[in-house]
Amino acid sequence: MKKIGIIVGSLRKESFNRSVANYLTSVAPEGYSFSFPDIGGLELYNQDLDDTPTEAWAKFRDEIKAVDALLFVTPEYNRSIPGVLKNAIDVGSRPYGQSVWTRKPGGIVSVSPGAIGGFGAHQHLKQVLSCLNVYIMNQPEAYVGNIMEALDDSGKVVSEHTQTFLSKYMNSFIRWIERF
């Protein structure tokens, strides 16, 4: 069974991104398990701590090492990725030469209440992950805009259009990670 780590870039209790991530897990074929490593409890990356990492850093790094693939589901903050997500990426990429991200297949889904679906965050995240040797699926790209129209009051994805799009994306992502 392949294990996919889903990194949700939003800490909000009723996160749109978490709703989308949960939907993606529900449409995945059998034979896959999912984990949601916590990025909210990670102390800010500080190189001075490389030799004595915090407990949260060590746990996070071990969780990422244990997965076969990565799926990032993120909002866009100021045309880029949230600081908490960038911090998690930095924590996992250090100490130099010991990155937990290296050579893992990955995908990106950006989610936004706006019409362009988090394009800026998606592109910035792709750039950062490529530098870390994460094998990002380039096509299809997943920009989920106008997300509030796709969710019901409990945060469940109910739009048929969005469900179909996300199901097709997940099928493509599974085919992608099976190549590795």
pTM of the shown model: 0.97
In this structure, the chain runs to a length of 180
Which residues on neighbouring strands pair with residue 71, listed in sequence order?
6, 107
pLDDT at residue 145 in the model: 95
What string of H, E and C letters represents the secondary structure of the chain? CEEEEEEECCCCCCCHHHHHHHHHHHCCCCCEEEECCCCCCCCCCCHHHCCCCCHHHHHHHHHHHCCCEEEEEECCECCECCHHHHHHHHHHHCCCCCCCCCCCEEEEEEECCCCCCCHHHHHHHHHHHHHCCCEECCCCCEEECCHHHCECCCCCECCHHHHHHHHHHHHHHHHHHHCC
What is the set of domains in the chain, with CATH numbers? 2-178 (3.40.50.360)
- pLDDT category of residue 4 using cuts at 50, 70 and 90: very high
Tens of pLDDT, residues 10-38: 999 999 999 999 999 999 999 999 999 99
Tens of pLDDT, residues 69-89: 999 999 999 999 999 999 999
Mean per-residue pLDDT, 136-143: 97
Mean per-residue pLDDT, 90-101: 97
Q: Which pair of structure tokens corresponds to residue 126? A: 């792709």
Q: Which pair of structure tokens corresponds to residue 39? A: 């990025």
Q: Distance between CA 160 and CA 165 in Å, rounded?
A: 8
